[in-house]
């Protein structure tokens, strides 16, 4: 089996058509697409591909569960902007990828997953480890392929990369039968190039739309920019900043937009939505113009639609025409790449005096500027907010922080102030517990020179903790902060607020995480008072290997403010007086 080609050093096969096995074509195509790193787990139906790996200059990271491979590919992509790649075998290997694929789909992350399947003659016979993975992943991929002919492998993988990264990015799966991996075909990288992406017919905005948008901006008294994840995907950070600065418009960010506009910028209001600061949501409710840039009006952002920003005209700039007028009806829909649209809009926008509006927002911040917690006295308790604020302060805000899902995720969003794009990596749309540890491994491979922190809850960390072994096998360094509150905290909070404090199935017994780390050969330390936080964070950062900190925080703390699901954006649950650690 296999050809004699050793394709480690030379790239001749990318320029000269060469006969290769299907398995070799998989790697050769990945090399041609610029891939140097993949995450995966072998098995019978993908074994020819694994057998051929040694011939190619690609590093393969062996994961402990295929969900981890998909999250690593996802974290790699979010940190670098490149396409991440995950590989799995048929049957359970492929189905284990599904949560990771759906996570990437909901947040529009470009990953390519390659799975093996049973030989083409056995397809549809319930053969050993056969599943219809293209059927299963149809709703959670941007596109998928089943390939049973060797000559189709290169065109499918090249198309997969193009689809994954074009327009609105997303995950693509390529399922390849075992016989297609084993047979040979002429590999012609150039000929396998996909046709250029056809523009969606709606992706043509008229000059009138741009003129109308400029006019609305000129005439507005209380405008707000809604800054979303699309800014990062488009690379439109400087254009958004130029718009904000030129017209003196304050900027509210979605969770996935954090970092796209610097936290320290005077026009930055902070995060909007369910756990956004009160003044941010009030500004949106009071606004007379919203300029939505690469965000999709998720229900966590709007609250009840009927009462959402009723006084505001709305401009929506969005690459996916299906998002325009989907959740929120807008006055000026501009379909297209955000950077391109803003480059055309900016020359039409002139300076405006925004002082009165900015002053009134500033006044509404009042005394509860929760970001000023650093000077508050130590009350003897350890609060997650303090821990995260201290990690922000000590890392100078320069780390890549990869969060899991729950209360700690929201505290991270509130207390770690992100200055740059791609420094917060978090599962927003699917809200996938277990995301943080594997996604952080992917981020570290993407940015080996960067400091990477995991911020995970005691619940979510246990979902993918097996990837600690991957860290050790790969010899990489990340810092892990477990925010250990003894609860599935975010669910406990909902039970406190909406289910009469019936804490059914949310108290959580965990292993001793420091010992768990130790069993893997990873150093760690438990921290239970605020006084110890700084030294512990320093110890973790200066350790040569991965270091785990188990922060034993208050169990019954809640994330404030909170807009109950289905309420209006201004109907927030505020921190009850006297219960506020920040007011003690």
428 binds ligand FAD (CB under 6 A): yes
**Binder of residue 433, out of Mg ion, ligand FAD, ligand TPP, none (CB less than 5 to 8 A by kind):** ligand TPP
**Binder of residue 301, out of ligand TPP, Mg ion, ligand FAD, none (CB less than 5 to 8 A by kind):** ligand FAD
- Binding residues for Mg ion, rule: CB under 5 A, are 457-459, 485, 487, 489
Contact pattern from residue 326 through residue 345 relative to ligand FAD, giving x for each residue in contact according to CB under 6 A and a dash for the rest: -----------xx-------
Of the pair 255, 289, the CB lying nearest ligand FAD is at 255
CB of 408 to ligand TPP, least distance (A): 4
Residue 50 CA to residue 178 CA, distance in Å, equals 12
Residue 209 CA to residue 315 CA, distance in Å, equals 9
Of the pair 115, 421, the CB lying nearest ligand FAD is at 421
**Catalytic residue check, 66:** yes
Provide the 3-class DSSP secondary structure of residue 522: coil
The interface region with ligand FAD, picked from 227-235, 343-351, 465-473, 524-532 by CB under 6 A, is 227-235
Residue 73 CA to residue 53 CA, distance in Å, equals 18
**Binder of residue 255, out of ligand FAD, Mg ion, ligand TPP, none (CB less than 5 to 8 A by kind):** ligand FAD
CB of 65 to ligand TPP, least distance (A): 13
Chain centre distance of CA 117: 29
**Binder of residue 69, out of ligand FAD, ligand TPP, Mg ion, none (CB less than 5 to 8 A by kind):** none
**Catalytic residue check, 245:** no
Of the pair 103, 421, the CB lying nearest ligand TPP is at 103
- Binding residues for ligand TPP, rule: CB under 6 A, are 404-408, 431-434, 457-460, 483, 485, 487-491
**Binder of residue 294, out of ligand TPP, Mg ion, ligand FAD, none (CB less than 5 to 8 A by kind):** ligand FAD
CB of 406 to Mg ion, least distance (A): 6
Of the pair 383, 487, the CB lying nearest Mg ion is at 487
Residue 248 CA to residue 445 CA, distance in Å, equals 39
- Within 8 A by CB and 6+ apart from 243, the residues are 225, 249, 291, 342, 345, 346, 349
CB of 290 to Mg ion, least distance (A): 35
Angle at 581 (CA atoms; ends 494, 511), nearest 5 degrees: 60
Exposed/middle/buried for residue 175 (C-beta within 10 Å: 0-12, 13-18, 19+): buried
**Catalytic residue check, 178:** yes
Catalytic residue among 33, 37, 55, 66: 66
**Binder of residue 275, out of Mg ion, ligand FAD, ligand TPP, none (CB less than 5 to 8 A by kind):** ligand FAD
Residue 353 CA to residue 379 CA, distance in Å, equals 44
* Distances, alpha carbon 404 to alpha carbons 5, 162, 332, 356, in Å: 43, 29, 36, 39
Helices 338-345, 207-219: inter-axial angle, 10-degree rounding: 70
Closest residue by Cα to residue 442 from 105, 170, 61:
61
257 binds ligand FAD (CB under 6 A): yes
Q: What residues from 165 to 184 belong to the interface with ligand FAD (CB under 6 A)?
A: 168
- The residue from 233, 404, 412, 467 that contacts ligand FAD (CB under 6 A) is 233
Q: DSSP for 199-251?
A: PPTT----HHHHHHHHHHHHH-SSEEEEE-HHHHHHT-HHHHHHHHHHHT--E
Residue 454 CA to residue 441 CA, distance in Å, equals 9
Strand order in the sheet with 84-88: 59-62, 37-40, 84-88, 111-117, 172-177, 143-147
Give kind and range of the element (H or E) at residue 443. Answer: helix 436-446
Of the pair 24, 323, the CB lying nearest ligand FAD is at 323
> What letters, b where the CB count within 10 A reaches 16 and e where it falls short, cover 247-274?
bbbbbbbbbbbbbbbbbeeebbbbbbbb
Catalytic residue among 178, 313, 314, 444: 178
Q: Can you give the binding site for ligand FAD, defined by CB under 6 A?
A: 107-108, 168, 228-230, 233-234, 254-257, 271-276, 294-296, 298, 300-301, 318-320, 323, 337-338, 405, 409-410, 428-429, 431, 490
| Residues recognised as catalytic | 66, 128-129, 178, 490
């Amino acid at each position: 089996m296999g050809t004699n080609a050793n394709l480690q050093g030379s790239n001749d096969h990318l320029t000269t058509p060469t006969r290769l096995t299907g398995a070799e074509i998989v790697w050769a195509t990945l090399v041609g697409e610029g891939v140097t790193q993949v995450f995966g787990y072998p098995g019978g139906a993908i074994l020819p591909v694994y057998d051929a790996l040694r011939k190619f200059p690609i590093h393969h990271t062996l994961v402990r569960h295929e969900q981890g491979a998909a999250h690593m590919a996802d974290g790699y992509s979010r940190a670098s902007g490149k396409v991440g790649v995950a590989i799995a075998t048929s049957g359970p290997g492929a189905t284990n990828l599904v949560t990771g694929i759906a996570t990437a789909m909901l947040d529009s992350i470009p990953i390519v997953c390659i799975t093996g399947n049973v030989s083409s003659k056995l397809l549809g016979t319930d053969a050993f480890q056969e599943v219809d993975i293209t059927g299963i992943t149809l709703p959670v991929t941007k596109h998928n392929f089943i390939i049973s002919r060797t000559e189709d492998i290169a065109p499918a993988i090249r198309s997969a990369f193009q689809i994954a990264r074009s327009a609105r990015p997303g995950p693509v799966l390529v399922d390849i039968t075992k016989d297609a991996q084993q047979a040979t075909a002429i590999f012609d990288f150039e000929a396998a190039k996909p046709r250029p992406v056809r523009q969606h017919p709606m992706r043509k905005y008229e000059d009138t739309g741009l003129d109308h948008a400029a006019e609305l901006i000129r005439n507005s008294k209380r405008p707000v920019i809604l800054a979303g994840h699309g800014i990062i995907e488009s690379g439109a950070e400087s254009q958004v900043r130029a718009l904000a600065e030129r017209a003196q418009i304050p900027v509210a960010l979605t969770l996935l937009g954090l970092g796209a506009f610097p936290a320290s910028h005077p026009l930055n209001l902070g995060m909007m939505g369910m756990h956004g600061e009160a003044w941010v949501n009030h500004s949106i409710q009071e606004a007379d113009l919203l300029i939505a840039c690469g965000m999709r009006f998720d229900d966590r952002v709007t609250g009840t639609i009927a009462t959402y920003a009723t006084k505001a005209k709305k401009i929506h700039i969005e690459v996916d025409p299906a998002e325009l007028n989907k959740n929120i009806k807008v006055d000026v829909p501009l379909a297209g790449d955000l950077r391109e649209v803003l480059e055309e809009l900016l020359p039409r926008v002139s300076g405006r005096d925004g002082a009165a509006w900015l002053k009134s927002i500033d006044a509404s911040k009042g005394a509860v500027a929760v970001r000023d917690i650093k000077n508050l006295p130590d009350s003897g308790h350890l609060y997650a907010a303090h821990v995260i604020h201290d990690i922000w302060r000590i890392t100078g805000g320069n780390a890549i922080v990869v969060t899991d899902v729950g209360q700690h995720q929201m505290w991270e969003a509130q207390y770690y102030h992100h200055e740059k794009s791609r420094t917060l990596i978090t599962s927003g749309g699917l809200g996938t517990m277990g995301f943080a540890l594997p996604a952080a491994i992917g981020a570290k491979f993407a940015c080996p020179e960067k400091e990477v922190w995991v911020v995970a809850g005691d619940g979510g960390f246990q979902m993918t903790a097996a990837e600690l072994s991957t860290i050790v096998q790969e010899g990489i360094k990340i810092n892990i902060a477990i925010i250990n509150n003894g609860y599935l905290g975010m669910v406990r909070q909902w039970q406190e607020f909406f289910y009469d404090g019936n804490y059914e199935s949310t108290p959580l017994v965990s292993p001793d995480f420091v010992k768990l780390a130790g069993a893997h050969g990873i150093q760690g330390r438990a921290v239970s008072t605020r006084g110890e936080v700084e030294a512990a964070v320093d110890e973790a950062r200066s350790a040569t290997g991965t270091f785990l900190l188990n922060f034993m925080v208050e169990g019954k703390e809640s994330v404030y403010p909170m807009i109950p699901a289905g309420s209006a954006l201004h109907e927030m649950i505020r921190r009850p007086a006297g219960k506020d650690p920040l007011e003690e």
